[in-house]
C-alpha cells in the first residue's frame, strides 16, 4: 500500500474501525440468536438442557469459589488498611464499615468476581468451543440439524450469568468480612458495631445495582468467549489466540461497562 | 439413471471460490436413490469442498444443490434442518463430540430428533455400534479409542437416524485393511438391505471399486470422468489411468507449486523469458 502518510493513517483507522464494527456486530448477532433460542427453549418447546446447564455451572463457577473468596478477603483487608488512616484523621473510624460496604457491594464485589471468573469460565469456554470447531464437532452438530447456539451457547449463557450472580453475592460478603477482619483484629472496632454499621449503610440500591451489573458482566464474559471460540480458525494456534483474546476483551468490556453503568445509575437511580 | 426415478441429489452448475481461486468449476451431477457414487481425486482437487457444499456447510458461489428436489442453497434454516435430518455424514476425523462417551455420541441424534424412550435409545445405540463392531466401547470417551475406531463410531452415529442418504468423507483413510473391509461391507449392506444412497469421497482405489455403482473422478475442480467402475478401468484418459494405477509419472503433476524452484530457493526475482 502506498500513498501519503495521512492516507495510510486514514486507511489504518478505517480498517481498524471496520474490524471493531464487525466484532460488535458479531456479538450482537450472537446475542439475538441466543435470545431467540432461549425464548424458544423456554416458551415454545421447553427443551433447555437442565443437566447440561447444571454441569456447566459446576464446571465454570464452583471451581472459582475458593479463589474468589481468597481474592476478596485480601481486597477487603487492603481496603481497611487503606481507609483507616484517612477516616482516623477525620475522627470517623467507626464509619469504616460504611465505606467498605459501599465500595464492595456495588463495585468491587461484582467487578472482582467477574474478572476472576473471566479467567476460569471465559478461558475455558473459548478453548473448549474453539477445540470443537477445529475438531469439526461444531460442523457435525450443525449438519445433524442440532443448532450449536441452542446446544452449546444457551446452557453456557445461563450457567455463566447465574454463577456470576452467585459468586458476586459471595464476593460481597467475603469482601466486607475481609475488611472486618482488619477492623476487629487490628483497629479494635467492635464486631457487632462493624456489622450493624455495614448493614445500616447498605441501601437496596447498592445491592441491586451490584447484582444487575454482575448479570451484565456474566453475560459479557460468556458472549465474548462463545463468539471467540466459535470463530476460531487455524488449528491449535487459533484456539490459543481465541482463549487469550477472550480473556483480554472480556476484562476490558467488563471495566468499560462498569463505568457506563455506574454513571447511568448515578444519574438515573 | 432409470427413467422416472427422481434423483435424490442433484448438482447443477455448482461453482465455489476460495480467496479468488476457483475450487469447483461448473459441477453437474445426479445421484439416483439406492446408488453408491464414489468421488475420487487427488489431494486438494476439491473433493472435500464439493462434499461440504452438498451438505450445506458452505453455499456455492454459483449453481444449485437439490436434495429430494428441494433447493438446499435457498432453503430456510428450518427447511435445511428438515433435509439434514434425512441424511447422515461421516466426517474425515469422525468428529465425535469429545465431551461425550461413545454411546452418548451415537445416542445424541436420537435424543435430539426423536421422542423415543431411553430404553429404546440404548437398544438402538447397541445395534448401531454392533454394526461397526464396537458394541463394548459404549462407555469409553473418544480420546480413549484409536483414530480408526473413532471413525467407525462416527459412522454408527451417522446411521443412528436411519438416513436415506449417507455422505462419507474419506471413510477408510487411516484404517487397517480389515476395518476397511468392514466399512466397505457396511456401505454395501446399507445399500442392499435398506436401499441407502451413498456418496463416498475417497482416494482409496481398492475400496472405491469394491463399493461403487458409479465412480466420478474430480480433477482441478471438475469431473473428468464419470461412469461404472468397469468403464473406469478401461478409460483411456491418461489422467484417469495415472490415478487409478497410482503412477508417479503422468499428466497429473506431483508438484503443484507454480513459482520457479531455483529462483524461489536462491531468492532471485523470477527469470525473464
Q: Where are the domains of chain A?
A: 9-268
pLDDT surpasses 80 at A67: yes
Average pLDDT over residues A218-241: 94
Average pLDDT per consecutive 10 residues, chain B (273 residues; last block may be shorter): 72 89 89 92 84 87 90 85 90 90 94 92 94 90 90 91 91 85 88 89 89 91 89 84 81 72 77 51
In a domain, residue B214? The reply is: yes
CB atoms closer than 10 angstroms to residue A98: 17
CB atoms A140 and B57 under 8 Å: no
Q: Nearest Cβ partner of B98 from A135, A139, A147?
A: A135
Cβ contacts of B4 within 8 Å, gap of 6 or more: none
Q: Nearest Cβ partner of B95 from A128, A140, A146?
A: A140
Number of structural domains in chain B: 1
- A136 interface with B at CB cutoff 8 Å: yes
Name the percent of chain A lying above pLDDT 70: 97
Q: Report residue B126 CA to chain centroid gap.
A: 25
In a domain, residue B108? The reply is: no
Q: What is the mean pLDDT of chain A?
A: 92
Residue B63 dihedral angles phi and psi, to the nearest 5°: 90, 180
CB atoms B56 and A135 under 8 Å: no
Contacts of A142 in chain B (CB under 8 A): 57
A32, A127, A143, A156: best to mutate for the B interface, most B CBs within 10 A: A143
Q: Nearest Cβ partner of A135 from B57, B85, B95?
A: B95
Distance from CA of B218 to the nearest CA of A (A): 24
pTM: 0.85
Distance from CA of A133 to the nearest CA of B (A): 10
Contacts of B93 in chain A (CB under 8 A): 135-136
pLDDT surpasses 50 at A258: yes
Average pLDDT over residues A135-158: 92
Q: Nearest Cβ partner of A137 from B85, B95, B113?
A: B95
Give the chain A residue whose CA is nearest to the CA of B97. Answer: A137
- A145 interface with B at CB cutoff 8 Å: yes
Per-residue pLDDT at B271: 53
In a domain, residue B93? The reply is: no
Per-residue pLDDT at B273: 47
Per-residue pLDDT at B175: 82
Q: Nearest Cβ partner of A143 from B82, B89, B108?
A: B89
- A235 interface with B at CB cutoff 8 Å: no
Average pLDDT over residues A148-167: 94
Q: 3-state SS string over chain A? A: CCCCHHHHHHHHHHHHHHHHHHHHHHHHHHHHHHHHHHHHHHHHCCCCCHHHHHHHHHHHHHHHHHHHHHHHHHHHHHHHHHHHHHHHHCCCHHHHHHHHHHHHHHHHHHHHHHHHHHHHHHHHHHHHHHHHHHCCHHHHHHHCCCCHHHHHHHHHHHHHHHHHHHHHHHHHHHHHHHHHHHHHHCCCCCHHHHHHHHHHHCCHHHHHHHHHHHHHHHHHHHHHHHHHHHCCCCHHHHHHHHHHHHHHHHHHHHHHHHHHHHHHHHHHC
Contacts of B99 in chain A (CB under 8 A): 128
Average pLDDT over residues A25-35: 92
B90, B97, B118: best to mutate for the A interface, most A CBs within 10 A: B97
Per-residue pLDDT at A182: 94
CATH code of B216's domain: 3.40.50.300
- A161 interface with B at CB cutoff 8 Å: no
Distance from CA of B268 to the nearest CA of A (A): 23
Average pLDDT over residues A126-134: 94
Distance from CA of A192 to the nearest CA of B (A): 49
B19, B88, B95: best to mutate for the A interface, most A CBs within 10 A: B95
In a domain, residue B226? The reply is: yes
A144, A146, A155: best to mutate for the B interface, most B CBs within 10 A: A144
pLDDT surpasses 60 at A1: no
- B185 interface with A at CB cutoff 8 Å: no
Range(s) of the domain holding residue B58 = 1-86+199-267
In a domain, residue B262? The reply is: yes
Q: Nearest Cβ partner of B85 from A139, A142, A145?
A: A145
ipTM summary value: 0.83
Amino acid at each position: 500500500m502506498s500513498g501519503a502518510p495521512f492516507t495510510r493513517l486514514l486507511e489504518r483507522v478505517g480498517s481498524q474501525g471496520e474490524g471493531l464494527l464487525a466484532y460488535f456486530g458479531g456479538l450482537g448477532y450472537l446475542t439475538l440468536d441466543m435470545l431467540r433460542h432461549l425464548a424458544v427453549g423456554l416458551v415454545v418447546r421447553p427443551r433447555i438442557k437442565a443437566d447440561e446447564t447444571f454441569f456447566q455451572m459446576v464446571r465454570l463457577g464452583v471451581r472459582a469459589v475458593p479463589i474468589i473468596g481468597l481474592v476478596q478477603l485480601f481486597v477487603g483487608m487492603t481496603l481497611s488498611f487503606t481507609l483507616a488512616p484517612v477516616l482516623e484523621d477525620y475522627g470517623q473510624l467507626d464509619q469504616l464499615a460504611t465505606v467498605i460496604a459501599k465500595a464492595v457491594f456495588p463495585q468491587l464485589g461484582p467487578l472482582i468476581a467477574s474478572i476472576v471468573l473471566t479467567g476460569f469460565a471465559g478461558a475455558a469456554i473459548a478453548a473448549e468451543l474453539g477445540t470443537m470447531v477445529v475438531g469439526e464437532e461444531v460442523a457435525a452438530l450443525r449438519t445433524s440439524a442440532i443448532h450449536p447456539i441452542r446446544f452449546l451457547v444457551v446452557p453456557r449463557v445461563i450457567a455463566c450469568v447465574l454463577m456470576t450472580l452467585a459468586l458476586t453475592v459471595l464476593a460481597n460478603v467475603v469482601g466486607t468480612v475481609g475488611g472486618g477482619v482488619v477492623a476487629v483484629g487490628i483497629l479494635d472496632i467492635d464486631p457487632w458495631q462493624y456489622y450493624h454499621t455495614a448493614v445500616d449503610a447498605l441501601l437496596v440500591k447498592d445491592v441491586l445495582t451490584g447484582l444487575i451489573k454482575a448479570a451484565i458482566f456474566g453475560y459479557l464474559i460468556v458472549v465474548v468467549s462463545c463468539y471467540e471460540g466459535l470463530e476460531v480458525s487455524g488449528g491449535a494456534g487459533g484456539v490459543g489466540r481465541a482463549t487469550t483474546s477472550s480473556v483480554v476483551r472480556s476484562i476490558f468490556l467488563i471495566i468499560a461497562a462498569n463505568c457506563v453503568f455506574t454513571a447511568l445509575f448515578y444519574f438515573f437511580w | 439413471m432409470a427413467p422416472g426415478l427422481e434423483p435424490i441429489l442433484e448438482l447443477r452448475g455448482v461453482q465455489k471460490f476460495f480467496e479468488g481461486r476457483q475450487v469447483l468449476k461448473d459441477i453437474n451431477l445426479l445421484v439416483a436413490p439406492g446408488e453408491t457414487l464414489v468421488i475420487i481425486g487427488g489431494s486438494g482437487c476439491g473433493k472435500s469442498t464439493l462434499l461440504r457444499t452438498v451438505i450445506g456447510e458452505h453455499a456455492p458461489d454459483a449453481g444449485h444443490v437439490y436434495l429430494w428436489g428441494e433447493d438446499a442453497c435457498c432453503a430456510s434454516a428450518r427447511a435445511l434442518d428438515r433435509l439434514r435430518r434425512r441424511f447422515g455424514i461421516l466426517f474425515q476425523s469422525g468428529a465425535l463430540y469429545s465431551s461425550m462417551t461413545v454411546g452418548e455420541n451415537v445416542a445424541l441424534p436420537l435424543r435430539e430428533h426423536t421422542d423415543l424412550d431411553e430404553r429404546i435409545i440404548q437398544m438402538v445405540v447397541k445395534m448401531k455400534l454392533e454394526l461397526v463392531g464396537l458394541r463394548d466401547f459404549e462407555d469409553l470417551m473418544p480420546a480413549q479409542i484409536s483414530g480408526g475406531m473413532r471413525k467407525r463410531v462416527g459412522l454408527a452415529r451417522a446411521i443412528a437416524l436411519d438416513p436415506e442418504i449417507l455422505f462419507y468423507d474419506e471413510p477408510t483413510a487411516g484404517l487397517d485393511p480389515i476395518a476397511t473391509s468392514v466399512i466397505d461391507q457396511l456401505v454395501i449392506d446399507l445399500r442392499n438391505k435398506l436401499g441407502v444412497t451413498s456418496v463416498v469421497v475417497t482416494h482409496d482405489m481398492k475400496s472405491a471399486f469394491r463399493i461403487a455403482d458409479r465412480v466420478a473422478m474430480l480433477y482441478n475442480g471438475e469431473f473428468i470422468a464419470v461412469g461404472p467402475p468397469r468403464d473406469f478401468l478401461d478409460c483411456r484418459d491418461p489422467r484417469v489411468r495415472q490415478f487409478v494405477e497410482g503412477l508417479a509419472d503422468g499428466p497429473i503433476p506431483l508438484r503443484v507449486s507454480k513459482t520457479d524452484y531455483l529462483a524461489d530457493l536462491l531468492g532471485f526475482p523470477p527469470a525473464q523469458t
